[in-house]
Amino acid sequence: MQNFFDNTMTIQAEAATIGAILLDPSRLIRWNPAIQSIQPIQSNKSSHPNQPTGSTRRYQIGRDREAINQSEELTISQNTDLITYSIQGERLAYRVQFKLIDNGPSTIVAETVMIDTEALPGVPLTLLRPITKHAFLTNLRALAALAEYEPPRVAPNH
């Protein structure tokens, strides 16, 4: 995989809120409008969206718009402050890493997109990069709007 581009954004929400959204695939449709459907590929160990650190889950994504991949297999993994989406499509494999940096009441989200450059021979990546970077930034802004709308998580009293 080759680093394709990075986007960074400060979101006015706690890292736990953003992480919960990123780890819950049913919410992906709310911040990525190109996704039409998402279905689990295998049964998950837990139905709770916040899996323990180091967990991995797989899903089938369907798109309703023209894209390089109309259908993709998404694997979500988490390791401390890094959430990774590994995507395998019919034409392109890529990885999106979200590093969540706690900054008090806000969180810095550093998004890194890496692609398998051998999967698209003959495609001028220099032309594809700005279009794709803009699309991912638009989705990151939608994630921010969703996270900022969420009420803060309150620890239950015992």
DSSP string, 27-48: GHHHH-TTEEEEEESS--S-SS
Query: Which pTM does this prediction carry?
Result: 0.83
The model's confidence at residue 63, banded by pLDDT at 50, 70 and 90, is: confident
Domain boundaries, the chain: 2-149
**Structure confidence by residue, pLDDT tens digits, 65-93:** 777 788 899 999 999 889 999 999 888 88
pLDDT for residue 118: 79
- Does 2-149 carry CATH code 2.40.30.10? no
Residue-wise pLDDT tens digits, 97-148: 999 999 988 999 999 999 987 777 777 788 889 999 999 999 999 999 999 9
